[in-house]
Amino acid sequence: MAGSQTPRRQAPFLIGLALILAALPLGYFVFLREPPPPPPVVVKAPPPAPPVEAPAPRKAVQLSLKTIEGTVEVRRGGGPWEAAQRGAPLNPTDAVRTKDASSAVIIGDEAVEVLMSAGTEVSVESLTDELSRILLETGMATTVIRPGKRHTFEVKAAHSDALARAEEASTFTMSNDGAGTVAVGAREGNVEFRGHGKVVIVRAGQQSIVTPTSGGPSEPAPVPTSLLRKISWPDNRRNQRRVTVAGEAEPGSRLELAGQHFSPGPDGKFERSVELKEGENLVRLRAYSVGGTHQEAQKTFKMDTRPPKKLKVDLPWGNPSPSEAPTQTQSP
């Protein structure tokens, strides 16, 4: 009996052991086996950036003659002066000049315009994509920089270190007497005016002047309304063909006497001779400022160089014939 019970008692133990041994692989698989590697992550490459187009290179401003009135001449690279043609291009070292009673307009694409008064000469110094510069030899020139066309434009005065510079929309005028007296006036916007190491900002309605003996441009002041300070007219009745008009005008202004254009001296004094024709002569004197104002004075001269008429004497006895003419007798 005892022998038969022992196997029965061992049976549950053996069954449990068998279950434990059977569960070992399952436990290993569940708890001890390393988890499978995660699936590979597929990273999509970003789409290629669109190609960046390089900005188109800026072109230098091209100058050309837009308008010609009267006698206008062009000189190419130091060559001889020749008649100007409308639309002719202007390159560095080219020059333009206007005679008396003449004018010209130079344009630079749609960015700038230069109006040359009578008796003015300019030359082209530099033309780049960022800066254009002309040299005012003598006379008066007005520069107009168009709005929306940002471009630096400079006007330099010959025989002086004076220079006017503007970058934005503006209108300014420079006059140069060719001997060191230079004036700049602004009508719109602002313009930088420098000379002798000094820099001033000339605003609309103002002007500034530099002379050979000044320490630089004067402080900007309102444009004067009176330009002719004093005029000395000769007698109006003349028997000579030439008269001399003298006086004093605003320094830096531009004068016109009987069609001749010239500049007063640094002190404003001037003296000019005029040829008269026979009969009545209306002589006009005009003054122009860099600020756009002008003034005029005039006088009439009567020119009479004819010899006096022969005098006719009526004798009391009329005009007898030679046979009837009275004779004188000599007393003995």
Given a cut of 70, is residue 132 above it in pLDDT? Answer: yes
Given a cut of 50, is residue 332 above it in pLDDT? Answer: no
> What is the rounded average pLDDT of the residues 227-244?
88
> What is the rounded average pLDDT of the residues 264-289?
94
Q: How confident is the model at residue 24 (pLDDT cuts 50, 70, 90)?
A: low
Residue 290 · residue 224 · CB < 8 Å = no
pTM: 0.75
More confident residue, 149 or 311: 149
> What is the rounded average pLDDT of the residues 59-64?
83
> What is the rounded average pLDDT of the residues 262-282?
94
What are the tens digits of pLDDT across the range 82-98? 999 999 999 999 999 99
Identify which of 175, 117, 187 has the alpha carbon closest to the alpha carbon of residue 145. Answer: 187
Q: How far apart are CA 261 and CA 288, in angstroms?
A: 10
Q: How far apart are CA 197 and CA 297, in angstroms?
A: 38
Between β-strands 182-188 and 190-195, what pairing exists: parallel, antiparallel or unpaired?
unpaired
Query: pLDDT > 90: what percent of the chain?
Result: 61
Q: How far apart are CA 83 and CA 195, in angstroms?
A: 34
Helices and strands in the chain, H and E counts: 1, 25
Owner of token pair 């002047």:
209
Of the given ranges (17-31, 189-203, 315-329), which has the lowest mean pLDDT?
A: 315-329
Given a cut of 70, is residue 321 above it in pLDDT? Answer: no
Phi/psi class of residue 252: alpha, beta or left (left: φ > 0; alpha: ψ in -120 to 50)? Answer: left
Owner of token pair 């122009």:
288
Q: How confident is the model at residue 270 (pLDDT cuts 50, 70, 90)?
A: very high
Between β-strands 237-238 and 294-303, what pairing exists: parallel, antiparallel or unpaired?
parallel
Q: How far apart are CA 67 and CA 87, in angstroms?
A: 8
Of the given ranges (46-50, 182-186, 230-234, 290-294), which has the lowest mean pLDDT?
A: 46-50
More confident residue, 161 or 129: 161
Owner of token pair 């390159």:
91
Given a cut of 80, is residue 48 above it in pLDDT? Answer: no
Looking at residue 314, what is its pLDDT?
A: 63
> What is the rounded average pLDDT of the residues 113-123?
96
Q: How confident is the model at residue 320 (pLDDT cuts 50, 70, 90)?
A: low
- Is residue 14 within a helix (H) or strand (E), and if so which, with residue range? helix 2-27
DSSP character for 204?
A: B
Q: How confident is the model at residue 43 (pLDDT cuts 50, 70, 90)?
A: low
More confident residue, 309 or 257: 257
Q: Which CATH class is domain 228-303?
A: mainly beta
- Is residue 245 within a helix (H) or strand (E), and if so which, with residue range? strand 242-249
Given a cut of 50, is residue 175 above it in pLDDT? Answer: yes
Given a cut of 60, is residue 75 above it in pLDDT? Answer: yes
- What residue segments make up the domains of the chain, in order of their start? 63-222, 228-303
Looking at residue 329, what is its pLDDT?
A: 44
Q: What is the CATH number of domain 63-222?
A: 2.60.120.1440
Tokens of 42: 């597929």
> What is the rounded average pLDDT of the residues 48-72?
79
Q: How many CA atoms lie within 13 A of 259 on its CB side?
A: 9
Q: How confident is the model at residue 60 (pLDDT cuts 50, 70, 90)?
A: confident
Given a cut of 50, is residue 328 above it in pLDDT? Answer: no
Question: What is the chain's mean pLDDT, rounded?
Answer: 85
> What is the rounded average pLDDT of the residues 199-208?
97
Identify which of 182, 123, 128 has the alpha carbon closest to the alpha carbon of residue 157. Answer: 182
* Radius of gyration for the chain, computed over Cα atoms and rounded to the nearest angstrom: 49
Q: How many CA atoms lie within 13 A of 59 on its CB side?
A: 7
Residue 177 · residue 209 · CB < 8 Å = no
Looking at residue 317, what is its pLDDT?
A: 61
Query: pLDDT > 70: what percent of the chain?
Result: 77
> What is the rounded average pLDDT of the residues 211-225?
94
Give a three-class secondary structure readout of 123-164. Answer: EEEEECCCEEEEEEEEEEEEEEECCCCCCEEEEEECCCCCEE
Looking at residue 57, what is its pLDDT?
A: 54
Tokens of 234: 């000769």
Q: How far apart are CA 167 and CA 312, in angstroms?
A: 78
